[in-house]
Amino acid sequence: MSQKNSEKTISQKIIDLENLVGWFESDDFVLEEALVQYKKAEQLAEEITNELEILQNDITILKKRFDEV
């Protein structure tokens, strides 16, 4: 990965998460590496959730402002 997670878009992070999930379902699955991959997936999922919550809050604020106009 050339970009740090904090520099990636939500869409890019979702693709990374999907790739990690795919790894678990693939023939490349190695038990010894599973914990490391799981932790990466868990971190990505948390980042995605946090960013989506922030966006949801921003949208709610904008909607309230729009409704006031």
pLDDT at 29: 87
Q: Is the pLDDT of residue 42 over 60?
A: yes
How many residues does the structure list for the chain? 69
37-46 CB contacts, 8 Å cutoff, 24+ apart? 41/17, 43/5, 44/5, 44/13, 44/16, 44/17, 44/20, 45/17
Percent of the chain exceeding pLDDT 90 equals 81
Q: pLDDT-derived band of residue 8, with 50, 70 and 90 as boundaries?
A: very high
The pTM assigned to this predicted structure is 0.79
Tokens of 9: 């878009």
pLDDT at 5: 67
Tokens of 63: 């909607």
Residues with Cβ < 8 Å from 16, sequence gap 6 or more? 1, 5, 8, 44
